[in-house]
Amino acid sequence: KMQIGFSKIGFPKQGALVLGVLEDSKMLAKTQEVDRNSGGMITAAIKNSNFSGKSHQILSVFTPERRIVLYGLGKGENIDELWSEEAGGRIFSSLETSGEKTVTVIFENHSRTKKNIDKRAAHLAYGALLRSYKFDKYKTKDKLGKDTTLKRINVAVEQHPQAKKIFSELVAVADGIFFARDLVSEPPNVLYPDSFAKKLTALRKLGLKVEVLGEKEMSKLGMGALLGVGQGSSRESKLVVMRWNGGKRGEKPIAFVGKGVCFDTGGISLKPASGMEDMKWDMGGAATVSGLMMALAGRKANTNAVGVVGLVENMPDGNAQRPGDVVTSMSGQTIEIINTDAEGRLVLADALWYTNRRFKPKFMIDLATLTGAMMVALGQVNCGYFTNNDGLAKEMERAARDVGEGIWRMPLGVEYNKMMNSDIADMKNAGPRFAGSVTAACFLERFVENCPWSHFDIAGMAWSSKDSPTVPKGGTGWGVRTLNQLVKSSYEA
Ligand code: BES
Ligand code: MN
Ligand code: ZN
């Protein structure tokens, strides 16, 4: 694991140095100092390259003593927390296998960039930390990161005690993100409902209250929709309830609900073989909820929150649910199963109803890798979300923007809703091909009563096939940051 430290501005004897340069090759004061001390080597290097200090441009310069990394600051005005995170990620990845063991980032104040320097320094470290994540527990040779030489990042900034304090809270969020990424990346023979639930009961050590309901308990509650999905699996379905009571006693909680399909074969409506291995991450919604609860507990958030995850495996089997079956959900509403591959909404139907009836939360937000149609609509850039509450939409838009995760509101409406009516039951679980993500959301809406609610279809977000500055490819932990920010900015005393 990467070591990260903060100190006052100075030049340590060893390791690489990162120094800032504004656009048009304007060196910051410390950069100029190093340039002078090296007899103008930085000036010469800039002259002989295409480096000009453009935002996020990087150039390594070698003096006889050490590597100097010039980092482009652009005009300087865009340097906020998110910019700094990206810089941290880029600095990490550019030095990761460079041979350097430590790097000191000189985080210098400048007239164009002076606000919140402690915060920005903390976020630079956070960006580097987020990018340094690896999932290599199943590699016995060729470990990911076996060529990693960079072990330590030191951020040198005048306000280092403040930066350190801000960073310690960000570490709790990073821990939650890493937990979510780990869960998403685990193979489905290792992570199934029971083993997932065990990883969640281990969170009790952080002060979370964790309850695990098995099939017997869920059956008593009448959760026929969720149980129908797990019916063909030899693994027992579970519902896990996590509670963080960091707020006022007796104050209504906020609630997060996750789809935890540990493997989605499609069931009897079997999926094609190609790419089916991806369906190990069909529990991404549950992973995000779990990571969020870990983050809230880790940073001792001043709020009451519940996280509920429905954990099942969707398998074809002699005992599996059939297309044509009619199941009764906990709400009493009946559902005709048209396609056993539209299973996530069945799990969420009971999990949402249960959460609303038991906790009467201020709001419910569910996350689910629910539809392929969501990826068709928005790709892997924005997460589509649906909500019955404009106030909640506003708060979420702001939270997502603050942490740099993209979200885009999608519509609900009666015209879509009635596309889910069934001829023989209250509703069917799959409608026509068109507007597949919208009709899925309308299906969920039938289980939230009057509670302010939002649904995030994270099908395009839970997994990434390429690196980005702060998210290495693989499980992303998408949503932990936005939801944590939502809590922090609007639901903490
Ligand atoms: N887990 C899938 C959705 C999915 C597909 C997520 C690809 C990520 C990548 C979901 O359970 C599913 O199979 N949905 C069906 C619904 C259809 C049968 C109405 C889909 O999207 O095709
Ligand atoms: Mn499915
Ligand atoms: Zn699924």
The phi, psi pair for 350, rounded to 5°, reads: -75, -35
Q: What percent of the chain has pLDDT over 70?
A: 100
Q: 335-344: b or e for each residue (b if 16 or more CB lie within 10 Å)?
A: bbbbebbbbb
Confidence at residue 406, expressed as pLDDT on a 0 to 100 scale: 98
Confidence at residue 189, expressed as pLDDT on a 0 to 100 scale: 98
Answer with the residue of higher pLDDT: 78 or 357.
357
Which one of the listed residues 112, 134, 199, 271 is annotated catalytic? 271
| Closest to 16 in 3D by CA, of 87, 74, 126, 94 | 94
Alpha helices in 54-203, H assignment, sequence order:
81-95, 117-131, 160-185, 193-201
In tens, the pLDDT along 320-340 reads 999 999 999 999 999 999 999
Q: What percent of the chain has pLDDT over 90?
A: 97
Amino acid at 423: D
Confidence at residue 2, expressed as pLDDT on a 0 to 100 scale: 93
- Which residue has the least CA distance to atom 17 on ligand 1? 342
C-alpha 154 to ligand 1 mean position (Å)? 44
Map tokens 């958030």 to a residue: 301
The answer to whether residue 271 is catalytic is yes
In tens, the pLDDT along 449-464 reads 999 999 999 999 999 9
340 lines ligand 1 (CB under 6 A): no
Centroid of chain to Cα 481 = 6
- Computed over every residue of the chain, the mean pLDDT equals 97
- Burial class, 253, CB count within 10 angstroms (exposed 0-12 / middle 13-18 / buried 19+): buried
Residue 363 contacts by C-beta under 8 Å, 6 or more apart in sequence?
254, 255, 389, 392, 451, 452, 453, 454
Could you tell me if 352 and 444 are in contact, meaning their C-beta atoms sit under 8 angstroms apart? yes
221 lines ligand 1 (CB under 6 A): no
The answer to whether residue 345 is catalytic is yes
Specify the ligand 1 atom closest to the Cα of 279.
1
- Which residue has the least CA distance to atom 8 on ligand 1? 459
For residue 109, pLDDT beyond 90: no
Going by pLDDT thresholds of 50, 70 and 90, the confidence category of residue 111 is: confident
Could you tell me if 368 and 447 are in contact, meaning their C-beta atoms sit under 8 angstroms apart? no
Could you say which ligand is closest to the alpha carbon of residue 436? 1
Could you tell me if 247 and 355 are in contact, meaning their C-beta atoms sit under 8 angstroms apart? no
In tens, the pLDDT along 354-391 reads 999 999 999 999 999 999 999 999 999 999 999 999 99
Residue 437 contacts by C-beta under 8 Å, 6 or more apart in sequence?
370, 371, 373, 374, 377, 384, 410, 457
Specify the ligand 1 atom closest to the Cα of 462.
8
Mean local confidence (pLDDT), 18-24 = 97
Could you tell me if 68 and 105 are in contact, meaning their C-beta atoms sit under 8 angstroms apart? no
Among 98-112, 125-139, 386-400, 462-476, name the one with the lowest average pLDDT.
98-112
Query: What is the rounded CA–CA span in Å between residue 307 and residue 317?
Result: 31
Confidence at residue 67, expressed as pLDDT on a 0 to 100 scale: 98
Specify the ligand 1 atom closest to the Cα of 433.
19
DSSP character string of 251-285: PPPEEEEEEEEEEE--TTSPPPSTTGGGGGGTTHH
Map tokens 């990073």 to a residue: 174
In tens, the pLDDT along 252-291 reads 999 999 999 999 999 999 999 999 999 999 999 999 999 9
For residue 114, pLDDT beyond 80: no
184 strand-pairing partners: none
For residue 101, pLDDT beyond 80: yes
Query: What is the rounded CA–CA span in Å between residue 139 and residue 416?
Result: 47
Confidence at residue 128, expressed as pLDDT on a 0 to 100 scale: 98
For a mutational test of ligand 1's pocket, the pick from 184, 341, 443, i.e. the residue with the most ligand atoms closer than 8 A to its C-beta, is: 341
Give this prediction's pTM.
Answer: 0.98
Alpha helices in 3-144, H assignment, sequence order:
29-37, 41-47, 81-95, 117-131
Mean local confidence (pLDDT), 169-188 = 98
Mean local confidence (pLDDT), 73-102 = 96
17 strand-pairing partners: 68, 104
C-beta contacts of 45-53 below 8 A and 24+ residues apart? 45/70, 46/21, 46/70, 51/21, 51/25, 52/23, 52/24, 52/25, 53/21, 53/22, 53/23, 53/24, 53/25, 53/26
Amino acid at 179: F
- HSE (side-chain half, CA atoms, 13 Å) at 205: 4
Residue 369 contacts by C-beta under 8 Å, 6 or more apart in sequence?
259, 261, 281, 282, 283, 284, 285, 344, 457, 458, 459, 462
371 lines ligand 1 (CB under 6 A): yes
Count, residues in the chain: 493
Confidence at residue 1, expressed as pLDDT on a 0 to 100 scale: 83
Query: What is the rounded CA–CA span in Å between residue 482 and residue 402?
Result: 8
Confidence at residue 493, expressed as pLDDT on a 0 to 100 scale: 83
- Which residue has the least CA distance to atom 5 on ligand 1? 372
Specify the ligand 1 atom closest to the Cα of 460.
8
Query: What is the rounded CA–CA span in Å between residue 51 and residue 25?
Result: 8
DSSP character string of 367-385: EE---HHHHHHHTTTSEEE
Confidence at residue 115, expressed as pLDDT on a 0 to 100 scale: 77
- Burial class, 286, CB count within 10 angstroms (exposed 0-12 / middle 13-18 / buried 19+): buried
Query: What is the rounded CA–CA span in Å between residue 432 and residue 130?
Result: 40
331 lines ligand 1 (CB under 6 A): no
C-alpha 269 to ligand 1 mean position (Å)? 11
